[in-house]
Structure 1
Amino acid sequence: MIFATASIGVTMMIDIVRNNGITALEILILTLFTVAFSWIAIPFWNAVIGFVLTLIRRDPLSLGPALVLGRESRSGGSRTALVMPVRNEDPSRVTAGLRTMMRSLSKTGQAEQFD
């Protein structure tokens, strides 16, 4: 996929450059374009593949079905800390926001997983 994408891009660039003949400078430009375009094609296809794997809910490392965690399958071994930075803010407003967040987590049934 990467080679095909880069080949199409380089072929189109050659068509643009060769109108009046190809000079040494244009060969240098084509060489640099080939490297740069290939460099861009790699993350493009990486993102496309990742997007497709996300859509079909596959684990990108094993290509098996993604693990779906429910309430009963979540282990109690790990916890997540809720941290709120406070700078030049009203502490009562920040505390109220933290309480609201904890109430929301309690409604999901997962509040015990957070500190």
Structure 2
Amino acid sequence: MNAEKLMLDWLNTSPVLRPVTATLNLPATASSTSPGRYLTVERTGGSETPFVSRPLFAVQAWAESRWEASELANRTAERIRHVTDLDDVADVDILSITDFPSPDGRPRYQVTCQLTIKTTYTESEEA
């Protein structure tokens, strides 16, 4: 299972976050003069065992102002808290919600979280 795809799909099915969509990369149309609102998802680490995956994510909320980025980050964190509604996700920890402006000064907040996901181990994966 691709954990980043799982997170993207979970965020993108939320009516609370619309019209914002989550992507793996900041869209090319985003710029410091036209920042827009975006969510980016990046797996930044985590552990893997034959039966459990514990991916660590940085989900970044981009917006026109710091306040809007903060609000988007808080709505995003609330959506992430409910990812355990998916059968394969056993637990979620929201580790932080942080003001994290981009190097060019665009407003951005970062939600750091870790999921506990059931994985399916098969002997063919040993080979």
Do these two structures clear the TM 0.5 threshold for a shared fold by scoring above it?
A: no
TM-score range (shorter-chain normalised) is under 0.3
Larger Rg: 1
Structure possessing the higher relative contact order (Cα contacts under 8 Å, 6 or more residues apart): 2
TM-score, with structure 2 as normaliser: 0.25
Structure richer in helix, relative to its length: 1
TM-score, length of structure 1 as denominator length: 0.26
